[in-house]
Every structure is written in structure tokens, then in C-alpha cells.
A = this chain, B = another copy of it.
Amino acid sequence: MTSLDDIAQTSQQGLVTKVASYLREHIVMDHFQPGQRLPERTLAEELQVSRTPLREALKILASEGLVEILPNRGAVVSDVSPLDVKEKAYVLSVLEQAAAELVCEKATDRDITELQALHYEMKAAFIRGDRQNYFRINQEIHDRIVALSGNRSLREMHGYLCRQLYRVRYLSNEKSEKWTTAMAEHEAIMAALEARDATRMGQELRNHLGKTWFKFAANENPDAQPSDQTDAKPTKQTKESPPADEQ
């Protein structure tokens, strides 16, 4: 984690980048409340920087969807509604499914072995009840799968969504007790990868993400009705469940 001191000392190159990273990390780590205002002068003084780079950093964060800039009202950390979570999670699942299929074709045996190693690391953290590391490695695995797809744009999009969901995912993970099913799903994913079964791996991943995120969305807003079609489900289902119309 970057600290205040890491910023504003050497003006080498990219103060705005540092400020943006700092704020991004803090927002993502949920150190700011959703809806909280970010007054420029105050923040600038706290970070020991001028308003100019801070403002530019806020603009970047705004385009990343982490903060919202209201006209003449300044920046507030953006609130991610349960519906937002479901929508973003759906896109995330679509992207990871696509990544999975590419990975099955492209990955070297070495790559797959490394993923398996990570998987076992995660399993270790799991049986230890080490939430922190379980969470971190889990994220790492998903990132790695997307990275191995070899498609930079895919990875960029994935990272974009992950940043927006990280805060939510973190809190969700803190609360959620049902690691067991998640682990089982991961086992299935790895098995499909080992067999290089693109279709199966894609479906497993999508199913996994769907469950994980829907579970959270329900957590955060218990009164959210679970009848929604933006949650993840296998791509090619031909009438498996009625679309349960919302809108």
C-alpha cells in the first residue's frame, strides 16, 4: 500500500499517476464511504500536493467509474448499486469465459502447471481459514487466466471491471461463509483447464462467477429480488429458465 509519504517527494514523473493510484487503492479498499465527497483543497493538503494534479487524478478516476464528478459540486466516490454489481459481474463472466476458451487453446503446459500451483496455494489458504490470502490468490488466479489469454484488450477490460468490483468483492468475501462451494467450482475449473476443454472451462467459470457475485448482490441488498436475467448462466442455454422479466 502506498503511503502519503510515497507521494509528493520526488517529482520525477507522474505525480498525477501516483495520486490516482493512491486514491484508487483507498477507494477500492473501501477506506472511503460511497457517496463521500472528496473536497479538493482538503485532499490536496492531506496528500501534500497541489490541486492541479489532484484534479487530473480525479478526472481519471471518474473515467474509471470509481468517482463521480458532479457539475460544480466536485467529486464523490461512486456508489455501486446491487444492480450495478450484477451487470458488471455479468460482463466479467462473459469476459472470463472468453478468456478461458483462449487459454485452453494457447496456454503452454508450463502455464497450466503454474495455475495449478496457485490453485493449491489457494486451497492451502482455504483450509487454514486464511481469508486474506485466499482472497488474494483467488484474484490472482482469475487475473492470470485472463492474462494468459494473450488478448491485451480483454485483460484491460477485465482489470477495469475488477477495479470497480474489488471493494465489493472484498467486503463480500469477508462476510461470505460458503467458501466450500467456491472451492469446488475452482476445482472443476482447473480440471477443465487441465483437459483443455474450452467449452467446459468457460461454462464452469461463468457459473462460478455468477454464483459468487449473485450471492453478494443478495447480501448487500437482501430485498433485491433474485429474479433477474443479468446474472451469469451458461451462454448457450436454450430455454433453461424463463427470463423472469424485469423492466
Contacts and interface: CB of A to CB of B under 8 A. Distances in A.
Interface in A26-63: 52, 55-56, 59-60, 62-63
Looking at chain A's contact residues, is the secondary structure mostly helix, strand, loop, or mixed? helix
A134 B95 CA distance: 30
Contact of A235 (B52, B84, B98): B98
Interface residues of A, number: 48
B102 A72 contact: no
Nearest to A56: B59
A59 B157 contact: no
A72 B199 contact: no
B59 A16 contact: yes
A74 to B, nearest CB: 12
Given A63-B64, A150-B230, A235-B235, A13 B71 contact: yes
Interface stretch (A86-94, A121-129, A214-222): A86-94
Interface of A: 13-14, 16, 52, 55-56, 59-60, 62-65, 71-72, 84, 87-88, 90-91, 94-95, 97-98, 101-102, 105-106, 149-154, 156-157, 160-161, 198-199, 202, 229-230, 235-236, 238, 243, 245, 247
